[in-house]
Structure 1
Amino acid sequence: MKILFLPDNITVDAEVGEPLLEVAERAGVTIPTGCLMGSCHACEVELDDGQIICACITAVPPGEKKMIINLSVDIDW
């Protein structure tokens, strides 16, 4: 699967089940983290369908060819 990180337009290949934070790190993209358990929401990102997820507890889903992740969800973090 191809994952596109916005707003920097960085694309990287990823495998189903791979943690999103690992994919981002491999691509040279920094996603802020806090608790790494999904409680603090520091790692929130927005998917292309508008869904907000915590990247620290999310893996690459099956059944898609491309995923767009917008890192500019909360400018206060």
Structure 2
Amino acid sequence: MTIRVHFLPDDVTVDAQVGEPLLDVAERAGVFIPTGCLMGSCHACTVEIEAGDMIRACITAVPPGREKLTINLFSDPTW
């Protein structure tokens, strides 16, 4: 199943498959999400999805049951 993933504030939209890692989707879209440990514990890859939910992109895949997913990126100068 294909889902439209919309990255903010870059305003970039790309199609992704359910279960595809978010970091892979972002890379394919040309969107940079900083990473550190790649295990979710350092929180460098924290992004916000709809309804203000915070997720760690390095350990999250495109979820099922949606037609569109909006991801709001943060800029953290420490990373």
Deviation at 1:75, TM superposition (A): 3.6
Partner Cα distance (1:32, 1:58) in 2: 14
Aligned pair partner of 2:23 in 6, 21, 24? 21
* Alignment TM-score, normalising by the size of structure 2: 0.92
Q: CA RMSD in A?
A: 1.0
Residue of structure 2 equivalent to 1:8: 10
SS in 2 for 1:14: strand
Higher share in strand: 2
**Unpaired segments ≥5 residues, structure 2:** none
For 1:1-77, list aligned pairs within 5 A.
1-72=3-74, 75-77=76-78
Percent of residue pairs bearing the same amino acid type: 67
**Unpaired segments ≥5 residues, structure 1:** none
Deviation at 1:49, TM superposition (A): 1.3
Partner Cα distance (1:40, 1:61) in 2: 22
Deviation at 1:76, TM superposition (A): 4.0
Residue-pair matches, total: 76
* Alignment TM-score, normalising by the size of structure 1: 0.94
Moved over 3 A (4+): 74-77
